[in-house]
Amino acid sequence: MSTDSRFVHKIWQEQELSKMVKGGVPFPMMSDAGGKVGAIYGVYEEDAGVDIRGRFIIDPDFVIRAMESLTPEVGRNPDEMIRQIKAFQHVRATGEVTPSGWQPGQVTLKPGPALVGKVWEVWKP
Amino acid sequence: MPEMKEGCVKPARGPILPASQAAQAPGATTPQEVSKVLARVGKEAIDFEANAFVEGVGFKPVKLSDYKGKWIVLCFYPGDFTFV
Mean pLDDT to the nearest integer, B36-64: 96
Question: Do A49 and A94 lie in a common domain?
Answer: no
Of B45, B54, B77, the CB nearest to A28: B54
Same-domain check for residues A43 and A98 = no
Question: Is residue B75 a contact partner of residue B50, using CB atoms and an 8 Å limit?
Answer: no
Residue count (chain B):
84
- With b for 16 or more beta-carbon neighbours within 10 A and e for fewer, the A18-54 pattern comes to eeeeeebbeebbbbbbbbbbbbbbbbbbeeeebbbbb
Does residue A12 belong to any structural domain of this protein?
yes
Distances (CA, A) of B69 to A63, B10, B54: 10, 28, 20
pLDDT at B28: 47
Give me the percent of chain B exceeding a pLDDT of 90. Answer: 55
Instruction: Assess whether A20 and A67 both reside in one domain.
Output: yes
Q: Which of A57, A74, A91 is the last residue of a domain?
A: A74
pLDDT computed for residue B21 by the predictor: 65
- Print pLDDT tens along chain A (125 aa): 999 999 999 999 999 999 999 999 999 999 999 999 999 999 999 999 999 999 999 999 999 999 999 999 999 999 999 999 999 999 999 999 999 999 999 999 999 999 999 999 999 98
Q: What residue of B is the nearest CA neighbor of A43?
A: B76
- pLDDT bin (cut points 50, 70, 90) of residue B24 is low
Inter-CA distances, B29 with A40, A50, A69, B48, Å:
11, 18, 24, 11
* Spatial separation of the C-alpha atoms in residues A88 and A80, rounded to whole Å: 12
Q: Tell whether A66 and A13 lie within a shared domain.
A: yes
- Does residue B23 register a pLDDT over 80? no
A10 and A70 co-located in one domain: yes
Q: CATH number of the domain that A68 lies in?
A: 3.40.30.10
Mutate to test the interface with B, among A62, A67, A71 (most CBs of B within 10 A): A62
Using CA atoms, how far apart are residues A87 and A94, in angstroms rounded to an integer?
A: 11
Least CB–CB distance from A64: residue in B41, B52, B68: B41
Confidence band of B32 (pLDDT split at 50, 70, 90): very low
Please check whether residue A90 lies inside any domain of the structure.
yes
Inform me whether the pLDDT recorded for B3 exceeds 60: no
Answer yes or no: do A106 and A67 share one domain.
no
- State the pLDDT at residue B10: 79
The C-alpha torsion from B81 through B40 and B65 to B26, rounded to 10°, is -100
Chain A residues with beta carbon closer than 8 angstroms to that of B59:
6, 10
> Exposed, middle or buried, B46 (CB in 10 Å: 0-12/13-18/19+)?
buried
Scanning A76-118, the segments in alpha helix (DSSP H) are 78-94
- Domain span at residue A29 reads 6-74
A32 → chain B, closest CA residue:
B50
Residues A101 and A42 in one domain: no
Inter-chain residue contact B74 with A55, CB threshold 8 Å = yes
On whether both A62 and A28 belong to a single domain, the answer is yes
Classify residue A45: in a domain, yes or no. yes
Same domain as A67, residue A107? no
Partner-chain contact B40 A64, CB within 8 Å: yes
Is A1 domain-assigned?
A: no
DSSP assigned state of B25: S
Asked if residue A114 belongs to a domain, the reply is yes
- Out of A42, A50, A62, name the one closest to residue B79 (CB): A50
Cross-strand bridge partners of residue A40 = none
- Judged by CB atoms closer than 8 Å, whether chains meet at B50 and A54 is answered as no
In this complex, do A48 and B38 lie within 8 Å of one another by their Cβ atoms? no
Across the range B52-65, mean pLDDT stands at: 97
Is the same domain home to A69 and A85?
Answer: no
A112, part of any domain: yes
ipTM: 0.94
Same domain, A12 and A64: yes
Quickly count: other Cβ atoms within 10 Å of residue B1's Cβ.
3
User: How many residues are given for chain A?
Assistant: 125
Q: Which residue has the higher pLDDT, A110 or B18?
A: A110
Q: What is the pLDDT of residue B11?
A: 78
Number of structural domains found in chain A: 2
